[in-house]
Amino acid sequence: MGNNARVSVVACVELEAVEIRYGRLVALRDVTLAVQPGQVLCVRGANGAGKTSLLRALAGVAQPSQGFRRGPGRVAYVPAELAPPRLSAGRWLRGIRPRRSEDPLVALEQLGFEGDLGRGCRSLSFGNFRKLLLADALSSGADLVVVDEANIGLDRAGHRGLGELIAATCARGATVVAAVQDGEVLHGADSTVVVVDRSVRRVHSADANDVEIGFSGPSDQIASLLRAASDLGFRPREDRP
């Protein structure tokens, strides 16, 4: 055998000419997409564009009416809306997964969870319940983690912790797909797809999301601005002349 052998990378999850229908309604049409292991894919789009249907297709929650999905069996899916269960937060978190890659309580701490694990999930604020769902998914050990409306309900600590947990999840070889609204950012995204009129219209590399801002001033003010940008989910890159 020569030295020119080619190594193919098998996608963690892929869609081929997928269409999703709910009765007569076409929610997603003719989508072909592949996400590699260890990558973070950001999904953007306006309300009603088809983001949720794309995420449900990738997670295997929605079955294609046409086309094919190929992906892992171990998937953690966080929907944009979920009715809190009739369990204490701690009991629900301990009992929902047979095995995990990380301690969910550590993930909760990273996200800045401030609720009482001994009380019912229904007593949690919306933000703390979202943090509970994120901690569960990102400590699950799943090969694919899919999160709808990743930024919703999160405070500054939640945004910072989410970025750290996504990075740790990808470092172990898992794949993360997360949706955000138009104009929002997802910290650590390797690429972005834009959903328009129930179809994937544009695909960007991470650099396509870069915004160049020039500023000058005292070093302590610059450092403070960079920290604030990082807390909001941006990835500041400081370039000095």
pLDDT in tens, 45-57: 888 889 999 999 9
What token pair was written down for 238? 């400081």
Would the pLDDT of 6 be above 50? no
Greater confidence (1 vs 9) lies with 9
Alpha carbon distance 41, 82 (integer Å): 22
pLDDT for the residue 230: 58
The sign of the torsion formed by the CA atoms of 204, 69, 82, 162 equals negative
Alpha carbon distance 198, 200 (integer Å): 7
For strands 175-181 and 25-35, give the pairing. Answer: unpaired
Alpha carbon distance 172, 154 (integer Å): 24
Provide CB contacts within 8 A for 240, sequence distance 6+.
Answer: none
Structural domain boundaries in the chain? 13-210, 213-241
Greater confidence (141 vs 231) lies with 141
pLDDT in tens, 179-237: 998 878 887 889 999 999 888 887 766 544 444 444 556 667 666 766 666 555 555 55
Residue 220's identity, in one-letter code, is: D
Alpha carbon distance 177, 179 (integer Å): 7
Query: Is there a contact between 167 and 188 (Cβ–Cβ < 8 Å)?
Result: yes
The strands making up 66-70's β-sheet, listed across from edge to edge, are: 25-35, 13-22, 66-70
Per-residue confidence at 108, pLDDT binned at 50, 70, 90? very high
pTM of the model: 0.79
Tokens 């699950």 correspond to what residue?
Answer: 140
Q: Which CATH number fits domain 13-210: 3.40.50.10860, 3.90.1150.10, 2.40.30.260, 3.40.50.300?
A: 3.40.50.300
pLDDT in tens, 153-182: 999 999 999 999 999 999 999 999 999 988
Greater confidence (209 vs 119) lies with 119
The mean pLDDT of 102-113, rounded to a whole number, is 92
Would the pLDDT of 109 be above 90? yes
